[in-house]
Amino acid sequence: MQAGVTQLDSSVGGLGGCPFAPGASGTIAAEELGYWLEESGVRTGIDLNAVLAATAVTQRAVGRELPSSLFRAGGRNAPRGTWSPEVVGSQA
């Protein structure tokens, strides 16, 4: 960011990877990148709760657990707002 980077690549839930590199991890989770940037003082305008909700929908669609640690942990710390995958899951 200090070097002038203005765009970063991420994916909901950390989906991705490389089919040519067995065991390659996916792209950084969008919710984790947004959380990290905001916690570092970089204002993104990203609605983290909306991204977490999209991750819940995506996980149900692909039918497997996604690698996002933030999603698996239930979102950000409670003092900043609460989020629950059960709320989104009930809209399936």
**Does the residue 36 lie in any domain?**
yes
Quick one: tokens of 47?
Answer: 């609605």
- Maximum Cα–Cα distance across the chain: 43
Per-residue pLDDT 10s for the chain (92 aa) are: 778 888 888 999 998 877 777 777 778 999 999 999 988 888 889 899 999 999 999 999 999 999 899 998 888 764 444 455 554 444 43
Tell me, yes or no, if the pTM score tops 0.85.
Answer: no
**Does the residue 40 lie in any domain?**
yes
**Does the residue 8 lie in any domain?**
no
The residues carrying an active-site annotation are 18
- Which residues form the domain of 67? 24-78
Contacts of 24 (CB under 8 A, 6+ apart): 17, 18
**Does the residue 9 lie in any domain?**
no
**Does the residue 10 lie in any domain?**
no
Q: How many distinct structural domains can be found in the chain?
A: 1
**Does the residue 66 lie in any domain?**
yes
**Does the residue 2 lie in any domain?**
no
Query: What residues are paired with 11 via a beta bridge?
Result: 29
**Does the residue 34 lie in any domain?**
yes
